[in-house]
Amino acid sequence: MAAEICGICGGDGRINNSFGNETRCPSCHGTGRRSDEGGLRDVTKTKPSHHKPAGNAAVAPKQQGPATAGGLLLAREVEACATVSADTKAKILREIADHEATHGKCTETFIKKVRRQLRPPVR
């Protein structure tokens, strides 16, 4: 099957741009032929129906907090703690979520470790 003539430039590989200058055809790259060697193959397969409708696939943001009962309990203790800064609280809450993600729950050791951080610093 012979190569098709480029439909953009009509086969001469050049087009006139809006300034009246001749420029190389962006579709055939100056060859005047359509999708002969790589590039724009399978143009006919690109149908609009292939494109997913935009807007209905909003991905819910991944939950960034404790999810287990133990984690939520611990998170409440962290929130109620008056001796640590909001930054530290956020950090600990992230650690709880991380720990849950890794272990599937809050282990006793981890809960103790977190509670230690909630204590006022020793002088």
Residues at the contact surface with Zn ion, assessed by CB under 5 A: 6, 8-9, 25, 27-28
Residue 49 tokens, joined: 């129906």
User: Residue 6 or residue 97: which is nearer to Zn ion going by CB?
Assistant: 6
Residue 3 tokens, joined: 């190569």
Smallest gap from Cβ 99 to Zn ion, in A, equals: 60
Smallest gap from Cβ 21 to Zn ion, in A, equals: 16
User: Residue 28 or residue 114: which is nearer to Zn ion going by CB?
Assistant: 28
User: Residue 40 or residue 72: which is nearer to Zn ion going by CB?
Assistant: 40
Q: Whats the size of the chain, residue-wise? A: 123
CA distance 123 to 121: 6
Smallest gap from Cβ 40 to Zn ion, in A, equals: 10
- Alpha-carbon Rg for the chain, nearest whole angstrom, is 31
Strand 22-24, strand 4-5: pairing: unpaired
